[in-house]
Each structure stands twice: as structure tokens, then as C-alpha cells.
Amino acid sequence: MGQGRHFLQIPGPSPVPDRVLRAMDMPVIDHRSAEFAELGRTVLEGAKKIFQTSGPVVIFPSSGTGAWEAAIVNTLSPGDKVLMVETGHFATLWRNMAKRWGIEVDFLPGDWRRGADPGAVEGKLAADTSHAIKAVMIVHNETSTGATSRIGDIRVAMDRVGHPALLMVDTISSLGSVDYRHEEWKVDVSVSCSQKGFMLPPGLGFNAISQKALAASKTNKMPRSYWDWEEMLKPNAKGFFPYTPATNLLYGLREAIAMLLEEGLPNVFARHQRLAAATRAAVNHWGLEVLCQEPKDFSPVLTAVLMPPGYDADEFRKVVLDNFNMSLGSGLSKVAGKVFRIGHLGECNELTLLAALTGVEMGLAVAGVPHRAGGVDAAMKFLEERPKGNAPARLKVVDS
């Protein structure tokens, strides 16, 4: 695949830091041993800090889709009504899954260019005076479009109308990259996975669970076995799992949590916002259009870029891959061929980003896509004008 490191600039899986790779490079241990229990307890406690909750977090050996299913089957019953918002491809897939479980979904239509509108959610809930809606299910960061939904505002809207629905949130591509507060926002189930903000390979799915969701799981009528929270929580209390866990991914998780906490979550979130803003500076300079049209919803994790009419995004991505050994994210379903996505999450810093943007800009030139050169300079200028740290950035000139 060419020399040097492949640039994996898709919005997940994100590159795995060397520190995490080294942490996983361990012999597999007995998952019934005291040594494993210590690891289990550490990651189950540590994950709570990343979800910003004091309640239980369960970890499945699964992709994010499995954790979506766990959220549904542990809380809802066939025939239940839920409210979802069409923010993009992933909201649509979660809706499809809910329907397959016999859930009646009121799917607020969207144009794939913004996050969920808290006002529209409030209107639907206010009209539901009989409280037929059992859950509001939102994708926090819509990875297909690069738009983030304001979950705190949605919680405020739900409280304002006093609606008792559960709030379930897909944090699959936001957790560990975008500020997310499971407890403060009274989210009932937060769904996530390992291969995005946690900077791990794919293979772990997460549910952070509120007491209200736990209570719902005691009476709901959905059949389940593998995904059953109760089966998981019992052995978790001592650091164990009900079946063979993904031991080496848990070693990686322990390291990834340590890295996020060492940097400090507020710094992690600020870094992502800064890199995203620098990316938009480049895209705007190129004269291309960012898919997300609502500045409040711009994603800190990825930027989806619209190709000029007549130019195919997938052919462009191939030019970039063939020439510069960099993978960009493809457009999914409705926007296939129309957008490419630049991931700037996880193990990403100023120089990684600038190299990625350089690859995009050179790709535009090689592919003959109309654009204004100098987007990378615009991103550099953005970053230069906002130096990090408390020390004065400008050097004093001293007489020699």
C-alpha cells in the first residue's frame, strides 16, 4: 500500500495509537482468573468516566450495531411507539432495526444537512398527551453527514413538556471526541463502540444505562439472550463477563481510557473542535461546500464535503488513495458519490490533519476537480492564529 503509514482519515475506524497497539500485544489470559477480574473492573469503571456517568456501563464483544440492538431489546416491547429523527444514514439504519423488532417508529424527516431539531422533538412530545411515545432515539453525531445533534437541548425540551419517554442516544462516533454527558443530560441508554473516539480496533459495543432504563428492562417484553443486561451485570459486579470477553481489546481499552483521561476530556473535546474548524477553513477556501448547513451542528469528528456537480466523490477518493496512500470516507446511501468525508478524530493532531488536508488538496488538483488552491494554507493560518497553551507564543527578540 505504498511506503510510510497509511493515512486512515475515515470517520472510524480511526487510527489506533501505538500505545494502544502495544497494550494489546499481550498473551491472552484466563478470563475466569483474578488477573482478568482486575482488568474487567478497571475498564468497566473507567468507561463510566468517558460516558460521564456514575451508573453502569456494559461492554459487549460486538460492533456498534450490536449495542444498538441491546438498547432496543432491553427497554422496549413489540408494538411500542418511539420517536426518531432522520439525521442521515445511521439514524435510518437504527430506525430500520427498531422496525424489525416490531417497534412503531415516528421518523421525523430530515434533509441530512443538520442535526435533530430540539424544537421539532418538543412539538411531537407536546402533542403526545397520552404518552404513547416510549422512547426518543437520536444519533448524537451522524457519521454519514458530519452533523451533531444537541442532546442537552433535547433533554431540556423533553423536560419542558414533562414527557416520560426514555432518551436513547447513539454516541458511536461522538464518545471520547465530543462533549457527551450521559448523567447530566439524563440519557437512559447511550450506545457506543470501540473503533472511533476510543481509538481501538472494531469489536467492542457499549451501553451506558440509567436507573430508569434498568427499571424498564425488568418489565419490557422483548425476547433476548446474548444482549441481556441482567446476565451481563451480574458477573460484571466482580469484573467478569457471562461469556468469553474480547480480552485483548479490553487491554487496549484500559490504555485508551488512560490516554483520554491524561489529556483531560475538556482538552480532547477542544482539540477535536479546533481540528474540525481548521478543516472547514480549508474546505471553504477550496470553494467546496460542507454538507452540514447548520453551524451549531458542525461535527468535531468529521467533515463531509460536497463534490462540485458532475464530479464523482468515489472516483476522487480513488485518486487520493492511489496517489497519496490516504483513505477518505465515502458517501453513504443517499449521498453516495456526492460527498467524501474527512475524519479528524481520535489519534489526530495538527500535523496529521494538515498532511491529510494536503492529500485532499493535491488529490483535487490531480483529479482536475475545480477548486481554489491554498486551502491547506488557510487551515495553517487558522491553527497559527490560535496557538495552544498558556505560555506566550511569540518569541522575544534578544540582542546577541
Ligand X SMILES: Cc1ncc(COP(=O)(O)O)c(C=O)c1O
76 burial via Cβ count (<10 Å: 0-12, 13-18, 19+) = buried
Burial 249-267 (b: 16+ CB within 10 A, else e): bbbbbbbbbebbeeeebee
Site for ligand X in 251-270 (CB under 6 A): none
Give the closest residue to 121 by CA, choosing from 112, 110, 113, 130.
110
Q: Which of 173, 177, 220, 247 binds ligand X (CB under 6 A)?
A: 173
Which residue's CB is nearer to ligand X, number 42 or number 327? 327
Q: How far is CA 300 from CA 41, 101, 108, 343, 399, in A?
A: 31, 32, 24, 9, 43
Contact yes or no for 173/148 (Cβ under 8 A): no
64 binds ligand X (CB under 6 A): yes
Which residue's CB is nearer to ligand X, number 342 or number 367? 342
143 binds ligand X (CB under 6 A): yes
CB of 194 to ligand X, least distance (A): 8
Helix (H, G, I), strand (E, B) or coil at 131: coil
Q: Which of 193, 259, 291, 354 binds ligand X (CB under 6 A)?
A: 193
Q: Which of 125, 135, 165, 172 binds ligand X (CB under 6 A)?
A: 172
CB of 160 to ligand X, least distance (A): 27
Helix (H, G, I), strand (E, B) or coil at 224: coil
Which residue's CB is nearer to ligand X, number 64 or number 110? 64
**Phi/psi class of residue 283: alpha, beta or left (left: φ > 0; alpha: ψ in -120 to 50)?**
alpha
139 binds ligand X (CB under 6 A): yes
Site for ligand X in 76-115 (CB under 6 A): 90
Task: Kindly indicate which of the ranges 61-69, 271-279, 320-328, 379-387 contains the residues binding ligand X, using the contact rule CB under 6 A.
Answer: 61-69
Locus of grid cell 403526545 = 128
CB of 69 to ligand X, least distance (A): 10
CB of 121 to ligand X, least distance (A): 18
63 binds ligand X (CB under 6 A): yes
Separation of alpha carbons 163 and 188, rounded Å: 14
Which residue's CB is nearer to ligand X, number 158 or number 178? 178
Site for ligand X in 215-254 (CB under 6 A): none
190 binds ligand X (CB under 6 A): no
Q: Which residues bind ligand X (CB under 6 A)?
A: 12, 63-65, 90, 139, 143, 170, 172-173, 193, 202
